[in-house]
Amino acid sequence: MNRFSKSQRLIAGLLVVAAIAFASAYVLKTKTEAGIQAAITAQIEAFRRDDGEAAFAIAAPEIQAKFGSARSFMNMVAATYPQVYRPRRVDFLDVMEADGKVLQKVLLIDHEGNDALAVYSLVRIEGTWRISGCMVSRAPGQLI
């Protein structure tokens, strides 16, 4: 004879389904974060190597259209975002969604030890994460 009632078996089954769903969502979130962070890391590494073509390829199509060439894009990043162009250290913080965009917060530390907070916006195009923007601030409310 079965030791558990029908309702106890139902509850246990629902708990198992919930646990599987939670684990699947966690794996999906982790894979998403890994893909986002890989795109940002690849672009920063391309900046460090002065590989404009590789850095520009990670930019979303609207960014590519705005700057027109890898050289123009690299010149803008070097002049406007030195923390992004040549960071000494990169620490990934929160990933969030706002207004239908995926945002990745990144703490950047330059070679003098100054820190900046970068908020990258990303889009997924044909399964690949592309960077659609970046806003950098020294402290909350102080845009660079």
pTM of the model: 0.75
Banded model confidence at residue 23, pLDDT cuts 50, 70, 90: very low
Residue 36 class from Cβ within 10 Å (0-12 exposed, 13-18 middle, 19+ buried)? buried
Residue 129 class from Cβ within 10 Å (0-12 exposed, 13-18 middle, 19+ buried)? buried
Among candidate residues 18, 14, 36, 4, the one with its CA nearest the CA of residue 129? 36
Mean pLDDT, the chain, integer: 83
Residues 44-91 pLDDT 10s? 999 999 999 999 999 999 999 999 999 999 999 999 988 899 999 999
Secondary-structure class of domain 6-143 per CATH: alpha beta
**CA 95/CA 34 separation, integer angstroms:** 10
Which of 2-16, 19-33, 112-126 bottoms out in mean pLDDT, i.e. has the lowest?
Answer: 19-33
Banded model confidence at residue 31, pLDDT cuts 50, 70, 90: low
Show the tokens assigned to 117.
Answer: 């907070």
